[in-house]
C-alpha cells in the first residue's frame, strides 16, 4: 500500500487539527463527521469513505495498491451510509424532504449508484412508479459477483388498503401499495419484483441465490411481529415465531439455512438456532442479561458473532477467524470499542473503527496477511488532542428498588466533587445510550459540567422486563428514575444537587419539560430540543401520518399503556406551564416531521401566557436530527450561552 494514498485520505478527512487547548471551539463538536462511514470493495482493491470537510458531504473512492482517488461531491444533502455492490459500484444512501401541502412534509431515503470511477448513476428502482412513494427502500442483501444484484424492499400496487410506510400524493387515487421484495441492477438502477408481499409484510430476507427465506410481518391491529420462514427448496411459508411468545427475531444465517431467535428464560436471554430443514432447535452462546444482536457475514450470510452488553458491547464470536482478527485489534488498540465495519471477500483486508465515550472515532485499514494497521482518518480531527471528559458506568437504585444503569461523564481537569450537573435523558424512549462517542455529552463536559445519561426504565437493550417497566410511565417512573440518579450523585458528593439543569432531545426534550413542570424544584433550568409537549397532539400526528390501524399508532398507544384523554392531558408539559419556576430554552427545526414544530410553539405560548421565562429558537431547513453543521453550531452556542447564564460552571 502506498504512503501517497494514506496521505491523500488523511488530508481529505482531516481539515485543521487544533493543538491541545481547552475548551475546544463549538465547531469542533458540531461538525459532521469527517469520516461518517467506510466500506472496502469485495476484491479488497478499493476503499470508499463517506464524509469530507464540515458542511460539504462527499464520497471518496481510493485505490489501495496504487495512487489515485476519486472524490464525488454529494452537495447539501443528508448522507446516511454506503455499501459496495460488486467491485464496480458504491451505493450511497441519502435522505431528503418533500412537502405535501403547506404544513405536511415527509422524509425519504433513497439509494444512489456511484461507479468505482466516481460517476453518479441512477437511483435504485427508478423504473418503478409505485416504489417512489415509499419513504424508504431498505437494502436487505447484496449478492456480489461479475453482475451483482441488490435486493431491497419496494412497493407493489394493489387495490386494497395496506399498512406500509408510504406517502400517497395523488388526490383521488383509489389504489394503494404493499411491500414486496425487489431485485435491482446497479448498472441501470432498474428493478423487478421477485417476491410478492402481503398486507402485513414488513421485510424479507433472501439467501445467496436471491430466494426469500424469511418474511417478517407486523400485525397493525396489535403492533405485534410474526416471522415466517421456508427451508431451501421449499415454497410454503411456516410461522416459526411470534412476538406474543416473548424474545425476539435476530436474523437468518444462509449457509446453515437457519433462523436465529432470542428466547427469555430464568437464566436470562438465550439465543437459539432454528434449523429450517428439520426444525431442530439448538442453544447458541451463553445466556445474557442484555438483549443481543446478531452479526453476519455480508457475503455468505453466515452468523459470525453475538453482541450484547451494558456499559460496552461484549462479543461472543461464532467464527474463529473473525474472532482472531478482533483479538489482534484489541491488543493493538487497547481500551477502545472496536467495530469490524467492512472486509474483503477473502478476509485479507478490513476496515476498522475504534472509539469510546471519551475518544472520538478513528478509522483504520487492516492488512490481515501482513498484520499491518494503517490509519484512514478521524471523524472529529479537531478534537484529536483536546482534553475530553472521563466517562464511567454506574448504577443506582430507583425509589421502588429497580436498579438503573447510567453513564456519568466528568469534565476534564480532575475535579470530581461538588460539580454542576446536566441530566441528559436519551430519546426514543425505547432506545439506549452506548459507550460510543457522543458530541453533545463531551461538549457539555468540556464546558465544566458533569453529565448524567440515565438508562431509565423503558430503555431498550436491558431485557424485556426492564423495557416493559416503562409502559405508561412517560411522566411517571421514567421521570423519577432521573431524579433518583441526581439524588444518588448528590449523596456521594459528586455533584451539587442545587446546581442541576436538564437537557434533552425528542423524548429527552419531553423529559426535560416534564422535569421543569412536574418537578420544578429539581432543576435550575431546562433546555429541550425538538421536544414532545402535548401527547394528544403527538397522537393526532401519528394518526394523520399512518392511520389508526397502523403499527406505528398501536405501538405508540402500547407505550402509553392506552392512556385515557385525561391521563394524556396530565402527562403533557404544555398543560402545566404555570408550575414552571426555571427558565426554559426550546430549539426546533421547521422541517421536523417526527415531532412537529407546533409542539415547541404550543409550549412557548403557554409559558408566555403564564409569565414565565422562555426562548424558542427555530432552525430553518432543519429536521428532527439536526444534521446540518450550521444548525449544530447555532444549537450548541445557544445552549452554551443559556447554561452559562443560568448554571455557570465556574
Q: What is the pLDDT of residues 569-587, one digit of tens each?
A: 999 999 999 999 999 999 9
Q: How far, in Å, CA of 73 to CA of 55, rounded? A: 11
pLDDT band at 202 (very low <50, low <70, confident <90, very high): confident
User: What average pLDDT does range 128-143 have in this prediction?
Assistant: 90
User: How far is the C-alpha of 274 from the C-alpha of 257, rounded, in Å?
Assistant: 9
* This prediction's pTM: 0.88
Q: What is the mean pLDDT of residues 390-400?
A: 96
pLDDT confidence bin for 16, thresholds 50/70/90: very low
For residues 401-407, give the mean pLDDT. Answer: 97
* Choice among 108-112, 201-205, 321-325, 546-550 with the minimum mean pLDDT: 546-550
Is 198 domain-assigned?
Answer: no
Mean pLDDT of 345-363: 95
The residues, any chain, with a CB within 8 Å of residue 457's CB and separated by 6 or more, are: 398, 402, 404, 466, 467, 469, 470, 473, 477, 478, 481
pLDDT more than 90, % of the chain: 68
Q: For position 312, what pLDDT does the model report?
A: 81
pLDDT category of residue 313 using cuts at 50, 70 and 90 = confident
Does 362 have pLDDT greater than 50?
Answer: yes
Burial class (CB in 10 A: 0-12, 13-18, 19+), 89: buried
Give dist(CA 648, CA 440) in Å, integer.
17
* Average pLDDT of span 581-609: 95
Does 370 have pLDDT greater than 80?
yes
List CB contacts of 156: < 8 A, sequence separation 6 or more.
Answer: 130, 177, 178, 179, 180, 193, 196, 197
Average pLDDT, the chain: 89
169 found inside a domain: no
Q: How many domains does the chain have?
A: 1
Q: How far apart are CA 548 and CA 552, in angstroms?
A: 8
pLDDT in tens, 232-254: 999 999 999 988 887 889 999 99
Domain membership of residue 621 (yes or no) is yes
Dig out the grid coordinates for 321 from the structure: 477467524
- Residue 223, pLDDT above cutoff 70: no
Predicted pLDDT of residue 314: 84
Contacts of 279 by beta carbon, 8 Å cutoff, 6+ apart: none
Written as nine digits, the cell of 79 is: 448522507
Cα(64)–Cα(110) distance, rounded to whole angstroms? 28
557-564 mean pLDDT: 88
Highest averaged pLDDT of the listed ranges 70-79, 210-219, 525-534, 621-630: 525-534
Residue 610 sits in a domain whose CATH number is 3.40.50.1820
Q: Sorting pLDDT into bands at 50, 70 and 90, what band is 448?
A: very high
Q: What is the mean pLDDT of residues 161-184?
A: 60
**Average confidence (pLDDT) over 126-149:** 91
User: For residues 213-248, b (16+ Cβ closer than 10 Å) or e, as one string?
Assistant: bbbbbbbbeebbbbbbbbeeeeeebeebbbbeeebb
Residues 6+ apart with CB under 8 A from 56: 73
In a domain, 522, yes or no: yes
Residue 500: domain span: 390-534+572-646
Residues 269-278: tens digit of each pLDDT: 899 999 999 9
**Averaged over 619-633, what is the pLDDT?**
89
199 against 528, higher pLDDT: 528
The pLDDT assigned to 243 comes to 84
For residues 223, 504, 358 and 58, what is the CA-based torsion angle, rounded to 10 degrees? 70
Does residue 641 lie within any of the structural domains?
Answer: yes
Residue 134 zone, left/alpha/beta (φ > 0; ψ -120 to 50; rest) = beta
Give the pLDDT score at 632: 93
What average pLDDT score do residues 516-542 get? 95
The answer, yes or no, to whether residue 10 has pLDDT greater than 50, is no
For helices 629-646 and 439-446, the axis angle rounded to 10 degrees is 40
What is the pLDDT at residue 627? 84
C-alpha atoms less than 13 angstroms from C-alpha of 525 in its C-beta half-sphere = 22
- Domain annotation covers residue 92: no
Instruction: Please report the pLDDT score of residue 175 as a whole number.
Output: 46
Query: Residue 219: enclosing H or E segment and its boundaries?
Result: strand 212-219
Number of H helices, E strands in the chain: 12, 35
Tell me what the mean pLDDT of segment 194-215 comes to. 88
Rounded CA gap, 146 and 356, in Å?
38
Q: C-alpha angle with apex 646: 641 to 650, nearest 5 degrees?
A: 85
Q: Long-range pairs for 169-174 at CB < 8 Å and ≥24 separation? A: 169/100, 169/133
The strand pairing partners of 615, in sequence order, are 585
pLDDT band at 476 (very low <50, low <70, confident <90, very high): very high
Amino acid at each position: 500500500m502506498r504512503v501517497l494514498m494514506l496521505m491523500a485520505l488523511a488530508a481529505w478527512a482531516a481539515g485543521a487539527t487544533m493543538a491541545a487547548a481547552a475548551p475546544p471551539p463549538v465547531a469542533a463538536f458540531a461538525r459532521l463527521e469527517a469520516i461518517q462511514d467506510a466500506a472496502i470493495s469485495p476484491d479488497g482493491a478499493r476503499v470508499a469513505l463517506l464524509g469530507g470537510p464540515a458542511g460539504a458531504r462527499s464520497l471518496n473512492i481510493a485505490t489501495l495498491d496504487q495512487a489515485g482517488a476519486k472524490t464525488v461531491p454529494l452537495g447539501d444533502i443528508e448522507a446516511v451510509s454506503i455499501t459496495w455492490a460488486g467491485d464496480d459500484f458504491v451505493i450511497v444512501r441519502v435522505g431528503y424532504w418533500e412537502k405535501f401541502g403547506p404544513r405536511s412534509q415527509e422524509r425519504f431515503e433513497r439509494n444512489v449508484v456511484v461507479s468505482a470511477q466516481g460517476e453518479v448513476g441512477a437511483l435504485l428502482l427508478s423504473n418503478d412508479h409505485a416504489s417512489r412513494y415509499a419513504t424508504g427502500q431498505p437494502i436487505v442483501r447484496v449478492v456480489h459477483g461479475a453482475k451483482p444484484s441488490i435486493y431491497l424492499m419496494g412497493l407493489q400496487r394493489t387495490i386494497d388498503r395496506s399498512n406500509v410506510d408510504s406517502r400517497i400524493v395523488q388526490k383521488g387515487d383509489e389504489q394503494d401499495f404493499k411491500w414486496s421484495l425487489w431485485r435491482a441492477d446497479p448498472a441501470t438502477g432498474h428493478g423487478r419484483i421477485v417476491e410478492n408481499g402481503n398486507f402485513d409484510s414488513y421485510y424479507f430476507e433472501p439467501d445467496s441465490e436471491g430466494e426469500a427465506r424469511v418474511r417478517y410481518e407486523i400485525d397493525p391491529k396489535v403492533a405485534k411481529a410474526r416471522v415466517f420462514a421456508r427451508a431451501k427448496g421449499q415454497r410454503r411459508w411456516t410461522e416459526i415465531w411470534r412476538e406474543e411468545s416473548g424474545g425476539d427475531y435476530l436474523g437468518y444465517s444462509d449457509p446453515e439455512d437457519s433462523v436465529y431467535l432470542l428466547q427469555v428464560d430464568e437464566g436470562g436471554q438465550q439465543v437459539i438456532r432454528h434449523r429450517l430443514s428439520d426444525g431442530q432447535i439448538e442453544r447458541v452462546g451463553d445466556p445474557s442479561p442484555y438483549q443481543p444482536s446478531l452479526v453476519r457475514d455480508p457475503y455468505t450470510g453466515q452468523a459470525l458473532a453475538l453482541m450484547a452488553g451494558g456499559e460496552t458491547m461484549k462479543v461472543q464470536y461464532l467464527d474463529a477467524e473473525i474472532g482472531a482478527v478482533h483479538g489482534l485489534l484489541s491488543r493493538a488498540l487497547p481500551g477502545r470499542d472496536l467495530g469490524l465495519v467492512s472486509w474483503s471477500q477473502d478476509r485479507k483486508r478490513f476496515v476498522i473503527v475504534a472509539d469510546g465515550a471519551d475518544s472520538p472515532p478513528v478509522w483504520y485499514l487492516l492488512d490481515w496477511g501482513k498484520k499491518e494497521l494503517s490509519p484512514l482518518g478521524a471523524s472529529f480531527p479537531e478534537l484529536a488532542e483536546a482534553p475530553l471528559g472521563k466517562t464511567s458506568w454506574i448504577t443506582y437504585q430507583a425509589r421502588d428498588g429497580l436498579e438503573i444503569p447510567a453513564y456519568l461523564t466528568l469534565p476534564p481537569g480532575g475535579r470530581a466533587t461538588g460539580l454542576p450537573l446536566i441530566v441528559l435523558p436519551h430519546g426514543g424512549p425505547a432506545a439506549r445510550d452506548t459507550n460510543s462517542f457522543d458530541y453533545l455529552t463531551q461538549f457539555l463536559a468540556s464546558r465544566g459540567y458533569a453529565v448524567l445519561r440515565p438508562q431509565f426504565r423503558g430503555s431498550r437493550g436491558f431485557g424485556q422486563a426492564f423495557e416493559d417497566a416503562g409502559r405508561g410511565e412517560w411522566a411517571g417512573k421514567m421521570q423519577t428514575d432521573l431524579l433518583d440518579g441526581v439524588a444518588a450523585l448528590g449523596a456521594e458528593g459528586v455533584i451539587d444537587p442545587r446546581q442541576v439543569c436538564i437537557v434533552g432531545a425528542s423524548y429527552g426534550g419531553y423529559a426535560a419539560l416534564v422535569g421543569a413542570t412536574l418537578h420544578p424544584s429539581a432543576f435550575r433550568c431546562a433546555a429541550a430540543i425538538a421536544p414532545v409537549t402535548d401527547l394528544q397532539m403527538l397522537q393526532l400526528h401519528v394518526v394523520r401520518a399512518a392511520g389508526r390501524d397502523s403499527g406505528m399508532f398501536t405501538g405508540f398507544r402500547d407505550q402509553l399503556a392506552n392512556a385515557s384523554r385525561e391521563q394524556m392531558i396530565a402527562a403533557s408539559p404544555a398543560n402545566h406551564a404555570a408550575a414552571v419556576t426555571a427558565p426554559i430554552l426550546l430549539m426546533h427545526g421547521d422541517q421536523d416531521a417526527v415531532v412537529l414544530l407546533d409542539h415547541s410553539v404550543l409550549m412557548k405560548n403557554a409559558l408566555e401566557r403564564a409569565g414565565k421565562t422562555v426562548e424558542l429558537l427555530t432552525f430553518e431547513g432543519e429536521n428532527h436530527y439536526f444534521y446540518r453543521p450550521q444548525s449544530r453550531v447555532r444549537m450548541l452556542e445557544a445552549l452554551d450561552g443559556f447554561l452559562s447564564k443560568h448554571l455557570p460552571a465556574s
